[in-house]
């Protein structure tokens, strides 16, 4: 595995966290893997991750503040070895866009009994971001360990 694309809905909460966690872990393990993130929707293109995602990531030593949202493209299905959806809805959208590409998986497959990573954007309490961060952290590290 040489490349991973993490995909959520808007590319401002979950997938930037996954990208940031993966980058740190890849650097720590001295691996050669390209990572990026994208959203299935285009609403936030060019915008930085949401403030709460930036804050929780920094608390765990992960800086995602320089990332900018982008929308997934058809060419991504051949560019990346793995396309990782953060929930079932994103997975279905990616399957439609790619005509069921073989390199699609759900992040929850790598931990948490294949559960979806909930979208914290709509959480009223900040604590939900901690839970989402921990869930993504576990799954991303398992994904990398199982594929290297």
Q: Among residues 14, 50, 116, 139, which one is catalytic? A: 14
Can you tell me whether residue 90 is helix, strand or coil? helix
* Residues across the chain: 148
* 8-state DSSP, 49: P
User: 120-145: b or e for each residue (b if 16 or more CB lie within 10 Å)?
Assistant: bbeeeeeebbeebbebbbebbbebbe
Q: Active site includes 139?
A: no
| Catalytic, out of 87, 119, 137, 139 | 119
> Among residues 8, 13, 116, 139, which one is catalytic?
8
Q: What DSSP assignment string belongs to 109-132?
A: GGSGGGPPPP-GGG-SSTHHHHHH
Active site residue 13: no
**68: annotated active-site residue:** no
User: Active-site residues: which are they?
Assistant: 8, 14, 119
């Amino acid at each position: 595995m040489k490349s991973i694309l993490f995909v959520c809905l808007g590319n401002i909460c979950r997938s930037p966290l996954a990208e940031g966690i993966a980058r740190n872990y890849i650097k720590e393990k001295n691996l050669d893997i390209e990572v990026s993130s994208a959203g299935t929707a285009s609403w936030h293109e060019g915008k930085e991750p949401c403030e709460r995602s930036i804050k929780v990531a920094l608390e765990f030593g992960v800086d995602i503040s320089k990332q900018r949202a982008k929308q997934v493209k058809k060419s991504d299905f051949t560019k990346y070895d793995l396309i990782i959806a953060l929930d079932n809805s994103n997975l279905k959208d990616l399957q439609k866009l790619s005509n069921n590409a073989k390199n699609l998986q759900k992040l929850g497959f790598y931990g948490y009994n294949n559960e979806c990573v909930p979208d914290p954007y709509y959480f009223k309490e900040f604590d939900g971001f901690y839970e989402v961060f921990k869930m993504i952290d576990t799954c991303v590290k398992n994904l990398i360990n199982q594929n290297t």
